[in-house]
Amino acid sequence: MDDRTGTTLHTGLLILTTAGVAWLSGLPMVFPSLGPSAFVLALFQDGDATAPRRVIGGHAIGVVAGLVAYHTFAGGVSMTSATAPGSFAGLQLAASAVVATLLTVGGMLATDTRHPPACATTLIVSLGLLSTLWEGTLMVLAVVLLVAAHRILLATERAGARYGEELRH
C-alpha cells in the first residue's frame, strides 16, 4: 500500500474510533479539531509532532484556556448563530476567542506541548460550542482515545510487517 493510501486509511480509522464512541454513547467525542489531529498522527506517525505528551497536552491546554476565557468573558453566549454587528455578545465572544488563543499558544510554548490543532479546540470551547467542564473533559478523553488508537494501529502495522517479513524468509 502506498503512503497516501496508508495515511488516508490510518486517519479514517482514528476518527472511526472516536466517532464510534460518540455514536454508541451519544457523547460529544467528535469535534472539528480531532480531524487535523488524526491527520498529523497518521502522517508523522513517530515524530515529535505525534508525541502523546504534545497531542494530549496541547488539547488539554486548549480546553482549559478555552474554559477560562469563555467563563471569564462570554459565559452564557454561544456562537451557534451570527451575532448582530457591533453587539456586546459579539464582543464577548471575540474577547473570549482572542484570550483563549493567546493562553493556548503561550501555554503550549511554555510546556513544549505544541500541537496546532489545539488552537481549534480552544476556539470550539471559547466560542461556547462545548463550554462546560464535562464537555471539556470529554474532549480531552476523546484525544486520549485517538492517541491510544494511533498507538494500537502502529503496533498492529509493525507486527504485521514483521510477520510478513518472517514469512518471506
Q: Read off the pLDDT of residues 14-67 as tens digits, 9 standing for 90 and up.
A: 999 999 999 999 999 999 999 999 999 999 988 898 999 999 999 999 999 999
Exposure of 136 by Cβ count < 10 A (0-12 exposed, 13-18 middle, 19+ buried)? buried
- Using CA atoms, how far apart are residues 121 and 32, in angstroms rounded to an integer? 8
For the chain, the average pLDDT equals: 92
Strand segments (E) across the chain = none
pLDDT of residue 108: 98
Interior/surface letters 82-111, b for 16+ CB within 10 angstroms, e for the rest: ebeeeeeebebbbebbebbbebbbebbeee
* Distance from C-alpha of 37 to C-alpha of 55, rounded to nearest angstrom: 7
Angstrom CA distances, 13 to 37, 42, 51, stand at 13, 10, 19
Give me the mean pLDDT over the 64-80 stretch: 96
Pairwise pLDDT comparison (160 vs 25), residue with the higher score: 25
Environment class of 81 (CB within 10 Å of its CB; exposed 0-12, middle 13-18, buried 19+): exposed
Residue 119: per-residue pLDDT: 98
